[in-house]
Structure 1
Amino acid sequence: MRVFVTGSTGWIGSATVDELLANGHEVLGLVRSERSEAKLTAKGATALRGDLDRPETFHAGASEADAVVHLANKHDWADPDGNDRVQLGAVEAMLDALAGTAKPLVIANGLSGIVEGRAALETDASPAVGPRSDRAGTENLALDAVPRGIRSIAVRFAPSVHGRGDWGFVNWLAAAARRSGVSGYIGDGSAAWSAVHVTDAARLIRLGLEGAPAGARLHAVAEQAIATKGIAEALGEALGLPVTAIDPDDAAEHFGVVGHFFGQTMTGSSALTRERLGWEPVGPGLIEDILAGAYTID
């Protein structure tokens, strides 16, 4: 397949491009800069210069491809409403490009906010509906478009998609530890996160693209529940720093933006995903990755 990938040089996107190319697919990646274009083409993929803000720059790439994987997100934490507007416009443009083709569209989402009090299941619909909801409700928007002749698939990622080079949540926790001189956890540290190695997440995307049915929700979850205190303890050991509890009222100041998430339990089951696709994670676990130096400064 010729696969159009947004976020093609991002953390998950880069691994996904590698996975697709290694398995015989062609990749057309959306890039915003000359540097990203060079990075992508060096792998043997093709670059399309454009931006999520301007759907006209990628409409042809989406419509002419055999499949679309939408991983890009502006992640402007200072302007979440603006993020959502961009996401909504981009997904609407992709749906218009794919309508009536039966081609697959893989759209990214997270586990946060799916359910409360237990691990999220693939059978749980996202409560985010409409443009004023989280991510402008784009998971439901895409899945609801199945009757339009689109094989829409949602992939929900664990809060930690980890590995060496990760610039996501665990990297931010490590940065906060270096900055403050302590590796912290919030409250009693009983909140828990799911986790998955980035190469396992990329393989799941490829398997979903190749074989998941229309309307499927897939969970990129290798480890279902890791206590946040355990994450802090591993970071403390890896960085040579003491470990301490942080009062919830001080979390935002201590951790920055990631403090909002580190105090939450964000977990999901991947039992149905594994059964449906035969996906079995093989990468290292999060604690193993941390202790092996994935988040230390070389």
Structure 2
Amino acid sequence: MERVFITGAAGYVGRNLARHFLENGVAVVAMVRSETSAERLKQLGAEIFVGDILHAEMAGAMSGCDGLVHAAADTDHGVATARQTAINVEGTRRVIAAARQASVRRVVHLSSDSVLADGSPLINVDETIPMPRRPAGHYSRTKAQAETIALSAATSDFAVIALRPRMVWGRDDTTGLRMLVDMAQLGKLAWIGGGTYLTSTTHIANLCHAVEYALRRGTSAEVYFVSDGAPVQFRAFVSALLETQGIAPPTKTVPRAIIRTMAVTGELLHTATAGRIAPPLTLQAFAASAIENTVNIRKAERDLAYRPIVSREEGLAELRALTFRGQ
């Protein structure tokens, strides 16, 4: 790879991917939606392309790129919206079509473990598990559609690989970690069912490493789960994340059955009232954080030679050090 195009480059994952490739001598064309979000990427040395994946003519900007990483997505875990459908489904269709037109050779589509979510625990799942007929929510549904669109475009001279990380975290996290801190400070964070179930996690450096390996070595039209390796107890991991920010973890717990009932009932009321009543919690959010979600990465280890390069302990130590330095 000499030149890579990244969609969603201003987001948490996108900007870390840009930094990763630039630090490894690969030129980056970073697609952002506005000039105001481009400054950090310019400082890293990326070439900037300003545009919206639903409207911009992307093929010209992709010209001369060896690879594409499609990281742009609407990750909201709330109720269904037309915007999420447009970005995740139609946006992916347009990005892939532009890449083919520009003769990009290899594409990594960033998918998610959520494509398998139906509200039941996902325990050590691998790439052979079929997508559910009734997804947990609109995010799962649209990400599954996007993954299918991307992979179906693969040809002998246009390689498309999908990566499914679980619970991305680490340095420079202005999304998930910020939300956890805010909820804890407001007293709105509680452990569902005690929080003792297991979860897989993916440090941002490990995800960037996996994306590079998938671009270079991935088999076209294949899917790979990636993570930090062995799973960890959800409560222990989230508590450790909060502690890196100087926040004491919560002690209160809520029965899982009550939370699931709230999610299902809230969504029914939302539908019955044509959206006038917003559910306090969706089944999508429940599926992501209230039950076990663990993935098997043997296929990535075998085919991509993928190995986590940052352990959880190292990632947590880095977060503590950055907090101590006020970064």
Report TM bin, short chain.
0.7 to 0.9
Summarize the Cα distance change of 1:111–1:30 in structure 2 as closer, same or farther, 3 Å threshold. Answer: same
d(CA) in 1 for partners of 2:203, 2:4:
22
Do the aligned partners of 1:235 and 1:290 also contact (CA within 8 Å) in 2?
A: no
1:281 maps to 2:282 = no
State the shift of 1:282 in Å.
2.2
Query: Paired residue for 1:34?
Result: 35
Equivalent of 2:151, from 140, 143, 159?
143
Root-mean-square deviation over aligned CA pairs: 3.3
State the shift of 1:72 in Å.
1.0
- How many percent of aligned residue pairs carry the same amino acid? 22
d(CA) in 1 for partners of 2:289, 2:311:
21
1:153 maps to 2:161 = yes
Query: Paired residue for 1:220?
Result: 226
Equivalent of 1:172, from 175, 179, 201?
179
Per mean C-alpha deviation after superposition, the further-off stretch among 135-144 and 79-88 is 79-88
Query: Paired residue for 2:70?
Result: 70
Do the aligned partners of 1:183 and 1:232 also contact (CA within 8 Å) in 2?
A: no
Query: Paired residue for 1:61?
Result: 61
Summarize the Cα distance change of 1:98–1:149 in structure 2 as closer, same or farther, 3 Å threshold. Answer: farther
d(CA) in 2 for partners of 1:202, 1:288:
14
State the shift of 1:169 in Å.
3.1
Task: State the one-letter code of the partner of 1:89.
Answer: E
Per mean C-alpha deviation after superposition, the further-off stretch among 9-18 and 168-177 is 168-177
Unaligned 5+ residue runs, structure 2?
267-279
Unaligned 5+ residue runs, structure 1?
none
State the shift of 1:153 in Å.
0.5
Query: Paired residue for 2:127?
Result: 122
1:10-31 Cα deviation digits (max 9, x unpaired):
1111111111112221110101
State the shift of 1:211 in Å.
1.6
Summarize the Cα distance change of 1:172–1:247 in structure 2 as closer, same or farther, 3 Å threshold. Answer: farther
d(CA) in 1 for partners of 2:178, 2:210:
23
Do the aligned partners of 1:234 and 1:291 also contact (CA within 8 Å) in 2?
A: no
d(CA) in 2 for partners of 1:191, 1:87:
30
d(CA) in 2 for partners of 1:6, 1:42:
18
TM-score, normalising length: structure 1: 0.84
d(CA) in 2 for partners of 1:174, 1:32:
27
Summarize the Cα distance change of 1:136–1:43 in structure 2 as closer, same or farther, 3 Å threshold. Answer: same
d(CA) in 2 for partners of 1:164, 1:94:
28
Query: Paired residue for 1:197?
Result: 203
Q: How many residues align?
A: 293
State the shift of 1:212 in Å.
1.0
Do the aligned partners of 2:161 and 2:218 also contact (CA within 8 Å) in 1?
A: yes
State the shift of 1:177 in Å.
1.0
